Amino acid sequence: MARYTGPKVRLSRRVGVPIADVPKHTGGDLNLPGMHGYRGRRNTEYGVRLTEKQKLKFHYGVLEKQFRRFLAIAQASKGNTGNTLLQRLELRLDNVIRRMGVAKTIWASRQIVNHGHVLVDGHKVDIASFIVAPGMVITFREKSHPLMRSNMEQMAGHNVPAWIEWNPSQLTAKINALPTPDDVPFEVNMNLIIEFYR
């Protein structure tokens, strides 16, 4: 399984926005990487589109090949390509675990999934890119409950989006609806991303 294992804050600094909702990413000065950055850089049209695409990729923790596959599926489906792409990324199992508030970052939620803690409709799913659908119920193995409760205490005040019906006492979640672009917690211009691949 290919994944990014390098320094994570560098990704936030590269795109100029926090890609994870933790103090390390949100608290610092997100200038360009390096001691002095590079102040003489003028962003081209290509560079603007590339940065927007990288922002989305880094936030969801996907690499280029997987991102292109999601885009191809979105382009082949009916409706707005940008909205469909965002929906597919939001409905990845690792992202849903993060939105529930039992993991701080996409990397932590991916580890929870890969280690076999998550059950979807009563069956163990250890594939982070598994796409959940409305009506599916997500639970955790009995042995994992202390870990999940400990993670939730560290993330007190986390807002769960409306498309997830979350029961923190039972540690169960049901997917009620498809997410909308308004449910994505950061600003992204999908038109620029679609244009990048034309």
Dihedral angle sign, alpha carbons of residues 180, 121, 99, 125: negative
Q: pLDDT tens-digit profile of 157-189? A: 788 899 999 999 999 999 999 988 888 877 888
User: Which residues of the chain form CATH 1.10.1050.10?
Assistant: 9-89+186-196
Percent above pLDDT 70 for the chain = 88
More confident residue, 30 or 21: 21
CA distance 198 to 182: 25
DSSP 158: P
Q: Which two tokens stand for residue 51?
A: 């940065």
DSSP 137: E
CA distance 95 to 58: 12
3-state secondary structure of 71: helix
Pick from 19-23, 90-94, 118-122, 151-155: least confident:
19-23
Tell me what pLDDT residue 154 has: 86
DSSP 98: H
Tell me what pLDDT residue 8 has: 79
Contact between 73 and 88 (Cβ < 8 Å): yes
Tell me what pLDDT residue 69 has: 93
Please choose, from the candidates 108, 146, 141, the residue with its C-alpha nearest in 3D space to the C-alpha of residue 123.
141
DSSP 131: B
Model pTM score:
0.86
Contact between 9 and 22 (Cβ < 8 Å): no
Whether domain 92-177 has CATH 3.30.465.10: the reply is no
Assign a CATH topology to domain 9-89+186-196.
Ribosomal Protein S4 Delta 41; Chain A, domain 1 (1.10.1050)
User: Which residues of the chain form CATH 3.10.290.10?
Assistant: 92-177
Pairing status of strand 164-167 against strand 172-175: antiparallel
